[in-house]
Chains A and B, each alone.
Chain A
Amino acid sequence: MTAPDASQLPRLLATVARPDLASHLSRWGGPPRRGPELLDELGRSRLGGRGGAGFPTARKWAALAAGGRPVVVVNATEGEPASNKDKTLLVHAPHLVLDGASLAARALGASEVIVCVDRRASAALRACGLAISERAGRGLDAVPFRLEAAPPGYVTGEESALVNWINGNPALPSFGRRPYERGVDGRPTLVQNAETLAHVALIGRFGSSWFGALGTDAHPGTALVTVTGDVRHPSVYEVAMGTPLVDVLAPAGADQPVQGVLVGGYAGTWLGPAAATSARLDPAWLGSAGASLGCGSLVVVGPHTCGLKAVAMIAAWMAGQSAGQCGPCARGLPTVADGLGRLLSAGAPNKWNAQIDRWLWMIDGRGACKHPDGAVRMIRSGIQVFAREIESHRHGGDCRRPPPSLALPRYSEVMV
């Protein structure tokens, strides 16, 4: 079939409310049959991972290609409380994700695809299970697909934790073990985010030039973002990379003036009002501001809620999500969370900020996984962005404003 207009949005969410295989095939055509040369196409596309780290997908695949018979794991665990985009994608376009996994399996010579979805995400699980049986009925894929309901938890989606769980162990991260060398059953394993694979499905069909017709030169394509917090319409959006942040906040109905936006999820970075006004949603711009797109989650703090409470409460939640394996994370994060709690009430000593800084410095980079680093990034940036809030709590006590609502968009709330 001829390629759809490359400048048209949405791409991944073009089949909203029509997740069945027939709709998928009539929209996109059959899955392409491409082999190892797909790696070159992926390299030209400059697709970066959409799970959080943004690692170049082609490089990830190339690291794997050398080893034995690999396994492909679709990571749709999305344990990030402020993100709903992978689940939404699975509900509306499961076949795009599965096409991407099928292409990965073919290009890498894998023998099996394992799709991991948070066991609480019943709609996404159902949609995915249905899609897998539709495909099996048509004999669409060369390898078997297996659906697994993964345990909840923030660190479950960390690559080594997910591989450990698939192998029958607790879903806890390992130190220094690399799934692309030794993963599921000891075999080289590609653990790839669901949205990333959906982009692969389109690059496999229409090529890297088509993919790059939207987005920036350095970061082509589109990305799914979840907008929540003080917005009238919490939604999942598909945007071209490089889209101004304000162009997403406006249709979401963000309460103005915005006091801060947490970009990239609970392990992300707070932007203050000035940065939020000029920010562009692409890794280059955000990187220059010390932030990253992460999983594309955006939490808005409006004028009537308390950003400092958001920082303190998210920090406490992140402390509770520590796998408990590494001392600096398991012991340090609760210490910092308690410290942030003290900043909320009147009379916290001035030196308290410096004490929290010191703890953050001690925790940063000292876990087997990146969980503590993410919490440190969120807290550090939050202390900067809400510095005036800290002062007014110090002098005036509790502001009596609630933290922002963190209600996630429903699956039907897709803005295209």
Chain B
Amino acid sequence: MNRTRRLVVDPIRCDAHGICAELLPELIQLDDWGYPMVSEQPVPHHLEAHARRAVAACPTLALLATEVEVARTAGGRAR
């Protein structure tokens, strides 16, 4: 067991500023309407600082990092 973080968007708060996708393109892509699709994978260690920066840069406080327990790094499609 390993504690790690996963990014979640509150879709009601999100206003499609798109800053998160600029700061963290490895885990966040924009859909056709400019809203972020966030990877369901845990944030890899080497991207943690970038993820923190993306969370802090969201003007509507819609991007959240939630702590999760993972047995091992699981796959997941970009969301």
Chain A residues engaging chain B, CB cutoff 8 angstroms: 174-176, 325-329, 331-332, 335, 359, 362, 365-368
Question: Is the CB–CB distance between A175 and B37 below 8 Å?
Answer: no
Chain A nearest Cβ from B37, distance in angstroms:
7
Residues of A within 8 A of B79 (CB): 365-366
Partner of B12, one of A326, A331, A335: A326
Determine if A327 and B37 form an interchain contact, defined as CB atoms under 8 angstroms apart: no
Cα–Cα, bound, A175→B11 (Å): 8
Q: Which residues of A contact B31 (CB under 8 A)?
A: 328, 332, 362, 366
A-B contact pairs, 25 of them (CB 8 A): A174-B12, A175-B10, A325-B11, A325-B12, A326-B11, A326-B12, A327-B14, A327-B16, A327-B33, A327-B34, A327-B35, A328-B11, A328-B33, A328-B35, A331-B33, A332-B32, A335-B32, A335-B33, A359-B32, A362-B31, A366-B31, A366-B35, A366-B79, A367-B11, A368-B10
Q: Kindly provide the distance from the CB of A229 to the nearest chain B CB, expressed in whole angstroms.
A: 33
For the complex, what is the distance from the CA of A196 to the CA of B34, rounded to whole Å?
A: 41
Determine the distance from Cα of A367 to Cα of B11 in the docked complex, in whole angstroms: 6
Which residues from 15 to 47 on chain B have a C-beta closer than 8 Å to any C-beta of chain A?
A: 15-16, 31-35, 37
Cα of A176 to Cα of B9 in the assembled complex, Å:
11
B32 touches A362 (CB 8 A): yes
Whether A175 contacts B12 in the complex (CB less than 8 A), given A365-B79, A366-B79, comes out as yes
Interface centre among A326, A327, A362 (most CB of B within 10 A): A327
Contacts of B14 in A (CB 8 A): 326-327
- Number of A-B pairs whose CB atoms are under 8 Å? 44
Residues of B within 8 A of A (CB): 10-16, 31-35, 37, 79
Closest to A328 in B: B35
B76 to chain A, nearest CB (A): 12
Q: How far is A366 from B13 in the complex, measured between Cα atoms in Å?
A: 13
B10 and A176 form a contact (CB under 8 A): yes
Give the nearest-CB partner of A327 in chain B: B35
Which of B13, B16, B31 has the most chain A CB atoms closer than 10 A to its own CB? Answer: B31
Would B12 and A362 count as touching, CB distance under 8 A?
A: no
The distance in angstroms between the C-alpha atoms of A81 and B79, with both chains bound, is 31
Which chain B residues border A367 with CB–CB below 8 Å?
11
Rounded to whole angstroms, the CA-CA distance of A175 and B15 in the bound complex is: 15
Q: Which 10 A-B pairs have the closest CB atoms?
A: A326-B11, A331-B33, A327-B35, A362-B31, A325-B12, A175-B12, A175-B10, A368-B12, A368-B11, A328-B35
Does B33 contact A332, Cβ atoms closer than 8 Å? yes
Q: Which residue of A lies closest to B13 (CB)?
A: A175
Docked pose: A328 CA to B15 CA in angstroms:
11
A330, chain B: closest CB distance, angstroms? 9
